[in-house]
């Protein structure tokens, strides 16, 4: 009977350890639980400029979604974004690829519009700003074009 209690205690301890690891993984990965809390929109940029899958999407500095995927379509970067369902995007919003700091990670900043019409699920953001390419700017500076 004593051996049974020891084995049961070890089993419960291991199970709790796995549950704790799963919880930490979900929290660190910021994975949504339950699903259904977002909708998808797309935007085409002339260049993705280092943007990665999983990058944040922000409005006024607040994370409102994530980049789902980036594919090449008609020689442009088609970015699919997952936006929280509580956020409504006007049809004239502007999506910009920005950098945190001088050489930090890339993210998408959405500037709200003033239209009364909203972008529906699986809709498209029409107004985009491509990222500033520091290599081009430095090259133009060296060549004296700036």
Distances (CA, A) of 10 to 13, 16, 33, 104, 122: 5, 10, 29, 45, 49
Q: What is the pLDDT of residues 118-131, one digit of tens each?
A: 999 899 999 998 77
How high is the mean pLDDT of the chain? 85
Can you tell me whether residue 29 is helix, strand or coil? Answer: helix
Binned at pLDDT 50, 70 and 90, residue 20 comes out as confident
pTM above 0.75, yes or no: no
Binned at pLDDT 50, 70 and 90, residue 36 comes out as low
Highest mean pLDDT among 11-25, 36-50, 64-78: 64-78
Binned at pLDDT 50, 70 and 90, residue 75 comes out as very high
Mean pLDDT of 112-121: 89
Distances (CA, A) of 70 to 51, 55, 106: 8, 11, 13
Highest mean pLDDT among 64-78, 100-114, 129-143: 64-78
Round to the nearest angstrom and report the end-to-end CA distance of the chain.
Answer: 83
Q: Which of these ranges, 35-44, 46-55, 64-73, 133-142, has the smallest mean pLDDT?
A: 133-142
Binned at pLDDT 50, 70 and 90, residue 1 comes out as low
Sequence spans of domains, the chain: 1-31, 38-132
With beta carbons less than 8 A apart as the criterion, state whether 93 and 123 touch. Answer: no
pLDDT of 103? 73
Query: 100: which residues sit within 8 A by CB, 6+ positions away?
Result: 106, 107
Distances (CA, A) of 3 to 12, 13, 95: 14, 15, 63
The tokens for 43 are 């935007």
Mean pLDDT of 13-36: 74
Query: 71: which residues sit within 8 A by CB, 6+ positions away?
Result: 77, 78, 80
């Amino acid at each position: 009977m004593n051996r049974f209690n020891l084995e049961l205690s070890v089993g419960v301890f291991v199970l709790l350890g796995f549950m704790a690891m799963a919880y930490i993984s979900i929290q660190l990965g910021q994975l949504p639980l339950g699903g259904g809390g977002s909708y998808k929109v797309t935007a085409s940029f002339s260049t993705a400029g280092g943007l990665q899958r999983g990058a944040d999407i922000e409005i006024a500095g607040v994370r409102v979604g994530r980049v789902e995927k980036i594919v090449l379509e008609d020689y442009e970067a088609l970015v699919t974004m997952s936006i929280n369902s509580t956020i409504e995007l006007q049809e004239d919003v502007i999506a910009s690829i920005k950098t945190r700091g001088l050489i930090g990670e890339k993210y998408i900043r959405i500037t709200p519009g003033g239209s009364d019409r909203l972008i529906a699920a699986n809709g498209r953001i029409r107004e985009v700003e491509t990222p500033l390419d520091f290599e081009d700017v430095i090259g133009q500076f060296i060549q004296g074009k700036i």
